[in-house]
Each structure stands twice: as C-alpha cells, then as structure tokens.
C-alpha cells in the first residue's frame, strides 16, 4: 500500500512539471475532433447534394421532391455515417498512438524504440476499444434484449424490474473498462514484469488514478445539473459544455501522465531498492 501511494504521489509530482505533454495530448484530441467533423459534414453534404431538386422544378414542389428523396435514400445516409464513424475510429487510433507513444517516451523508460512502440500503442488501443465495444453489446443484449421490440408502455411497466439488471450491467461494464485500462497501461508502459512483482500495488495505483478521474467527471456533471437548476437549461448547457469539455480533456490528459509516471516508478522500484542497499523506498 505504501509503495502504491508513493507511486501515485510521485506520478502527480512528475506530471505537474510536464504541461507541454498535456497540451500535446489535448491538441491531438482537437485534431481528431476537427477531422471527424470534416468527415461527417462531407458525408452529409454529399448526401444532400444528391437530393438537390432539378433547377426547372417549381419552388412549391421542391419540398416534396426533397421529402420523397429522403424517404427513399435515408439508408444511404445511415451507411455513410457508419463509414464516417469507422474512418473517425481509424483516425483517432493512429493519432492517439502517434502522440501518446511519444508522450510515454518522455514519461517512462520503455524498451521499444522507433516504430515498435507506435505499433504497440496502435494495437493496444484498437484491441481495447473493440473489446469494450463487444462487451457493451453483449451486456446490452443480455439486459435489454427481450425488450428491444417492446413499445413505450411496456418499457414503463417493466422498468422497475429491469433497473437492477441495468445497474448490474453498468457495474460489470465499469469492471471491464478498468481491467482493459489496466492491461492497456501495462502493455504500453512495458510494465508486465512490474505487475508480476507487485500485482496489488499496480492495481491500487491504477485504480486510485481512475477513481480520481471518475470523481472529477461526476463533479462536472453535478455542477452542470446545479447550473441547470439556477438558469435556463439551454443557457446552462451553452455555458457548461465548452468549460466542462476543455476541463475534462485537460484532466484526462494530465491523469494519463500521472498513471504512466506511477507505473514507471513501480517498474523502477526493484532497481532503486537494490541501489539503496535494502533501505526503504523513497522518491
């Protein structure tokens, strides 16, 4: 327990002096958001341009022409948006692996160099997201599957019985997300050996950083709900959304550095302990 707390405290101290890495991670997320917006807008504009009415069509019939086109061609828009989502997923996987693999080099000494660490980050990120998406689909089908074809009235009647199953499914997904985050951190930081030497310490350190981020997110949600109770909801969301978005993005990037730094400290513990000739661990 002492080593875990020391590692987390040391991680906070190390990350505090690396603001440029936090900004780099936030910039990567902004690039991805802009790229995603551009991809989605391209798909939507291409779809709408295919439904443009003929130039010689009377204005009073243009609305009917557009409505008829939408009724017949909406599956094409859906598939276009699905394709845009897949492209966005690929873009984020590459951008995140490129930026965070370099952030890790400034945070933890890793054995892989060059393209090796990038490929490790890319494979780890893709597999983690696919695994969590598959787990979410399985849990959703298991919990809500029987009611997917029910109407609204049946949902209202069945909700008192379903809410405990939904709560259990959400708790299971939280546990899956934590395990995937733990494995992802160990693989990226080249710290599988550290987990073998100090499994409880690694789990406590990663859980402490993850819990701290969860508390920040819940605090942001609570602050937004309080603001919505004081002023109109539209104005509250207009004020809270950008502030919360930037703040949560900065917190996530900072705590990412804390997590990597804490794992790096745990990795170096046997080396530090041996150089101190059996003395107590210190940062």
User: Taking the chain (283 residues) in consecutive chunks of 10 residues, what is each chunk's mean pLDDT?
Assistant: 84 87 93 94 84 63 65 78 94 94 77 68 93 92 70 66 82 93 88 81 91 92 86 82 89 92 81 47 40
- Phi/psi-derived region of residue 151, left when phi > 0, alpha when psi is between -120 and 50, beta in every other case: beta
Radius of gyration of the chain (CA): 24
Is residue 135 domain-resident? yes
Helices (H), 145-231: 152-188, 192-197, 199-230
User: What's the Cα-to-Cα distance from 32 to each of 91, 119, 140, rounded to whole Å?
Assistant: 7, 19, 28
Is residue 142 domain-resident? yes
SS3 content of the chain, % helix, strand, coil (to 5): 85, 0, 15
pLDDT at 53: 63
pLDDT at 174: 92
In total, how many domains does the chain have? 1
- Cβ distance 10 to 265 under 8 Å? yes
Angle between the 199-230 and 233-267 helix axes, to the nearest 10 degrees? 170
Is residue 130 domain-resident? yes
Q: Is the dihedral of CA 172, 175, 180, 183 positive or negative?
A: negative
Is residue 91 domain-resident? no
Range of the domain at 181: 116-188
CA atoms of 10 and 16, how far apart (whole Å): 10
pLDDT at 4: 84
Is residue 120 domain-resident? yes
Contacts of 87 (CB under 8 A, 6+ apart): 39
Is residue 270 domain-resident? no
């Amino acid at each position: 327990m002492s080593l875990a707390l020391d590692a987390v405290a040391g991680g906070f101290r190390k990350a505090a002096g690396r603001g440029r890495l936090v900004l780099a991670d936030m910039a990567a997320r902004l690039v991805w958001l802009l790229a995603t917006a551009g991809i989605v807008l391209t798909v939507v504009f291409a779809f709408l341009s295919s439904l443009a009415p003929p130039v010689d069509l009377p204005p009073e019939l243009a609305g009917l022409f557009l409505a008829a086109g939408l009724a017949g061609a909406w599956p094409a828009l859906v598939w276009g948006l699905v394709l845009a989502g897949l492209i966005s997923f690929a873009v984020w996987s590459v951008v995140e692996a490129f930026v965070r693999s370099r952030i890790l080099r400034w945070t933890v000494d890793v054995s892989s160099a060059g393209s090796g660490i990038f490929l490790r980050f890319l494979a780890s990120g893709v597999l983690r997201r696919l695994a969590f998406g598959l787990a979410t689909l399985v849990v959703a089908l298991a919990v809500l599957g029987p009611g997917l074809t029910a109407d609204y009235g049946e949902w209202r009647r069945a909700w008192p019985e379903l809410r405990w199953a939904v709560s259990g499914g959400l708790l299971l997904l939280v546990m899956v997300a934590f395990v995937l985050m733990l494995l992802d951190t160990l693989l990226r930081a080249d710290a599988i050996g550290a987990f073998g030497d100090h499994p409880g310490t690694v789990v406590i350190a990663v859980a402490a950083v993850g819990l701290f981020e969860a508390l920040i997110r819940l605090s942001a949600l609570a602050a937004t709900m309080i603001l919505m109770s004081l002023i109109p909801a539209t104005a509250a969301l207009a004020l809270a959304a950008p502030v919360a978005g930037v703040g949560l993005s900065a917190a996530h990037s900072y705590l990412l550095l804390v997590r990597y730094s804490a794992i790096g400290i745990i990795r170096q513990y046997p080396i530090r302990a041996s150089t101190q000739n059996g003395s107590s661990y210190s940062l």
